[in-house]
Structure 1
Amino acid sequence: MLKYAVVDIETTGGFASGNGITEISILIHDGLKVIESFETLINPRQDIPVYIQTLTGISNKMVYDAPLFEEVAPKIYELLNDKVFVAHNVNFDFSFVRHQLAQSGFVLQSKKLCTVRMSRKIIPGLPSYSLGKLCSSLHIPLNDRHRAGGDAAATALLLTLLLEKDTEGAIPLSLHKSSKEQLLPPNLSKDSIEALPANPGVYYFKDQKGKIIYIGKAINLRKRVYSHFSGNKINQQRQDFLRNIYEVDFTICGTELMALILEASEIQKYWPEKNRALKRFEQKYALYDFEDQNGYVRLGIDKYKKNTNALYTFNSLLSGQSLLRGMITEHRLCEKLCFIQKNRSACTAQEKGGCNGACLGQEDPAEYNQRVNEAILHLKSALPSFALIDSGRNEEEKSCLWIEGGKFYGMGYISFYTDITDLENLKSCIVPYPSNDYILNMVLSYAESHPQQRIDILKSIAL
């Protein structure tokens, strides 16, 4: 007969790798009733934070003479081995107990059953599934709240009720070897995961209020989302992450490249708290032009400002200055008017004959500005403009990415039967997206390795 080990623990903090267990209660349940129990305080070998002492009533003094975990580990392992590990938010309790047992030389490999998830499935529609409010709704007595014994006893009664009400076999199904039910966060329904397609795309994890807390991309949406929950990491970041996931949404993309682009754009748009790497990516510098009071058009590298007409953008000051120096040399521009030299009355090139004296006002602004404009046109003409045609979201469409003047313009979808040589019509199907070096480099790299999918764009169409 299948037996269950209903477990509740009290701890010094929220994640297993940096905290200890202060109390554990284990109730062995035969499917009808509790048949054996074990409960003890545990010395965690670290101070219990004051707020946790207030919450649980367990003080440093109470655990001072309590056994260390390794002293009771053989008994705990004996009780849990070959049983179904049951807890309210099972992944939290299981991560602590498994970690502590491993440190004591025991490997716990038990099936898990989460009474939060099973309550949502078997008794849907309740206002809250926290243990206290759930017990109140179901008239289950809950004594010694936030102590291991009291919470475990209430969870055992809840398990009895769930087993009685499980007329559709949700519990046996979740314990089946092929089921991934107990891997999932306690507040995320399995149906929402099963609804995910096996397509490339972008997925969005949302909290209880529907706020996006994490955005990711995938070649296979369902497989990738499941992978978030299959590991055994026990750090605080993972525990907090899983606890706050209540909903998953998604957008299908035609290709992995489009998913990468959409992911980067959406992270910059929504700024989710759990995303880190792509949040930090922003253009830092840009090449600008303006006319000064003396009528000279001046070029200069400055910090990038959103919603400005930058000629080109850079991720480093060095790369910007390198480009500008090349323009100065090729088109005989003035280093001083381009802000390369700042502390001289005339640039060094003027002394060597490489500057016509604009820095001293000796060259007519119109003549100088003509060379500046030629330099800008040459820069723009050297920047690539092309479309990439690839797979769509289904067999009836294709995808199109548009690069214009060395910048990522946008992407979209067209009918499979669209004439891709009609570039003006092709561009009309493109949805504009913000561009940065990260996105541009991905597209340029893909185009280089897939030249057969590239269609060069005439400058007249690009402009």
Structure 2
Amino acid sequence: MMISDYIAIDLETTGIRLSKDKIIEVGLLKVKDSHIIDTFSCVINPDMQVDDKILELTKISENELRNAKRIYEVINHIVDFCEDYVLLGHNTIFDYSFVKKEANRVGLEFEKRGIDTYKLCKKVLPENVRKNLTDACSYFGIERKNSHRAFSDAFYTHVLFQEIIKNFKTLEISSESMKVKIKKFVPIRKRTKEDLQKLLNCHRIGCKVNIDLLSESEAKRMMDKIKSGSMYFT
């Protein structure tokens, strides 16, 4: 089956834990008839301290993060951009999980099927070739640039997929259902919101986080960090 319409997706995040980590960059390419027809890319302020290793890996600066929009400000656009297209990624389930979690937080449906170039590479590349995006691209003579930036990685995932299609014409490619278990979102309780606001006022902290969109557990973690003096605010 020939799949020529899809959304190539890649995210940069603060880590790999879906329950605690956050998106810091989104890269999307809308592909129709195998051609890019639209793109979307932005840095996201995660409202948490980002490990220096992540900043070094992505080359995203703390200043960029501080001045960026929050995910709740762009998640509607991300969901709308994807329309009814399947998602294409290199380990697609990872990126899908983080977007689905954020969509779920604001009451948006985000049910997608996916195509995973990592799984395709495991089928078609020699055993001695590593299946990460850089090595997979290199196998096909694709020089990957600006690695570990969301838009660039989404673009090269698209290019890799096109090379796989071109070089393995008999390979059967179909989208698959992606099952993700998202922890139920429990909104911040009134009492917790009041206690958090008191802490912010007491410590004279100017917080740009939309408190109403926090979960109960996130609010409590924030309160603990304020008390310990380790909270990341802008």
TM-score (norm 2): 0.71
User: Which whole-Å CA distance do the structure 1 matches of 2:116 and 2:139 have between them?
Assistant: 18
Question: Does the residue aligned with 2:34 lie in a helix, a strand or coil?
Answer: coil
Question: Does the residue aligned with 1:38 lie in a helix, a strand or coil?
Answer: strand
User: Which whole-Å CA distance do the structure 2 matches of 1:34 and 1:99 have between them?
Assistant: 26
Question: Does the residue aligned with 1:27 lie in a helix, a strand or coil?
Answer: strand
Deviation at 1:159, TM superposition (A): 1.5
Q: Which has the higher Rg, Structure 1 or Structure 2?
A: 1
| Counterparts of residues 279-428 of structure 1 (less than 5 Å) | none
User: Which whole-Å CA distance do the structure 1 matches of 2:161 and 2:80 have between them?
Assistant: 21
Distance 1:98 1:231, change over 3 A: closer
- Which of 171, 175, 181 aligns to 1:232? It is 181
Deviation at 1:124, TM superposition (A): 4.4
Q: Report the counterpart of residue 28 of structure 1 in structure 2.
A: 30
**2:87 is aligned with 1:138:** no
User: Which whole-Å CA distance do the structure 2 matches of 1:105 and 1:3 have between them?
Assistant: 27
User: Which whole-Å CA distance do the structure 1 matches of 2:151 and 2:171 have between them?
Assistant: 29
- What whole-Å deviation, never above 9, does each CA across 1:274-324 have from its counterpart, x for those lacking one? xxxxxxxxxxxxxxxxxxxxxxxxxxxxxxxxxxxxxxxxxxxxxxxxxxx
Q: Report the counterpart of residue 163 of structure 1 in structure 2.
A: 165
Deviation at 1:59, TM superposition (A): 2.5
Distance 1:231 1:93, change over 3 A: closer
Q: Report the counterpart of residue 92 of structure 1 in structure 2.
A: 94
User: Which whole-Å CA distance do the structure 2 matches of 1:61 and 1:77 have between them?
Assistant: 27
| Aligned CA-pair RMSD | 2.0
User: Which whole-Å CA distance do the structure 2 matches of 1:40 and 1:28 have between them?
Assistant: 15
- Which of 147, 151, 162 aligns to 1:149? It is 151
User: Which whole-Å CA distance do the structure 2 matches of 1:101 and 1:141 have between them?
Assistant: 34
User: Which whole-Å CA distance do the structure 1 matches of 2:20 and 2:12 have between them?
Assistant: 14
User: Which whole-Å CA distance do the structure 2 matches of 1:2 and 1:145 have between them?
Assistant: 24
Q: Report the counterpart of residue 117 of structure 1 in structure 2.
A: 119
Q: Report the counterpart of residue 39 of structure 1 in structure 2.
A: 41
Deviation at 1:81, TM superposition (A): 2.6
Deviation at 1:166, TM superposition (A): 4.2
User: Which whole-Å CA distance do the structure 2 matches of 1:15 and 1:60 have between them?
Assistant: 21
User: Which whole-Å CA distance do the structure 1 matches of 2:180 and 2:72 have between them?
Assistant: 25
Q: Which runs of 5+ in 2 are unaligned?
A: 184-234
Q: Report the counterpart of residue 208 of structure 2 in structure 1.
A: none
Deviation at 1:169, TM superposition (A): 4.5
Distance 1:142 1:2, change over 3 A: closer
Q: Report the counterpart of residue 58 of structure 1 in structure 2.
A: 60
Determine if contact 2:4/2:31 at 8 Å carries over to the other structure: no
Identity of aligned residues (%): 28
- What whole-Å deviation, never above 9, does each CA across 1:238-288 have from its counterpart, x for those lacking one? xxxxxxxxxxxxxxxxxxxxxxxxxxxxxxxxxxxxxxxxxxxxxxxxxxx
Q: Report the counterpart of residue 15 of structure 1 in structure 2.
A: 17
Determine if contact 2:5/2:34 at 8 Å carries over to the other structure: no
Q: Report the counterpart of residue 222 of structure 2 in structure 1.
A: none
Determine if contact 1:9/1:22 at 8 Å carries over to the other structure: yes
User: Which whole-Å CA distance do the structure 1 matches of 2:101 and 2:180 have between them?
Assistant: 13
Question: Does the residue aligned with 1:82 lie in a helix, a strand or coil?
Answer: coil
Determine if contact 1:81/1:110 at 8 Å carries over to the other structure: no
User: Which whole-Å CA distance do the structure 1 matches of 2:78 and 2:84 have between them?
Assistant: 12
The runs of at least 4 aligned residues of structure 1 exceeding 6 Å deviation read none
Determine if contact 1:44/1:68 at 8 Å carries over to the other structure: yes
* Greater RCO, CA 8 A, separation 6+: 2
Question: Does the residue aligned with 2:102 lie in a helix, a strand or coil?
Answer: helix
Deviation at 1:122, TM superposition (A): 3.5
Determine if contact 1:47/1:60 at 8 Å carries over to the other structure: no
User: Which whole-Å CA distance do the structure 2 matches of 1:8 and 1:169 have between them?
Assistant: 24
User: Which whole-Å CA distance do the structure 1 matches of 2:54 and 2:82 have between them?
Assistant: 26
Number of equivalent positions: 181
Q: Report the counterpart of residue 76 of structure 2 in structure 1.
A: 74
- What whole-Å deviation, never above 9, does each CA across 1:6-48 have from its counterpart, x for those lacking one? 0011011112220111100000112422111110011111111
Question: Does the residue aligned with 2:28 lie in a helix, a strand or coil?
Answer: strand
**2:129 is aligned with 1:127:** yes
TM-score (norm 1): 0.37
Determine if contact 1:25/1:38 at 8 Å carries over to the other structure: yes
Residue identity in the other structure for 1:232 = K
Determine if contact 1:85/1:110 at 8 Å carries over to the other structure: yes
User: Which whole-Å CA distance do the structure 2 matches of 1:232 and 1:36 have between them?
Assistant: 30
Q: Which runs of 5+ in 1 are unaligned?
A: 176-180, 184-229, 235-463
User: Which whole-Å CA distance do the structure 2 matches of 1:167 and 1:4 have between them?
Assistant: 18
Report which of the two has the higher share of strand: 1
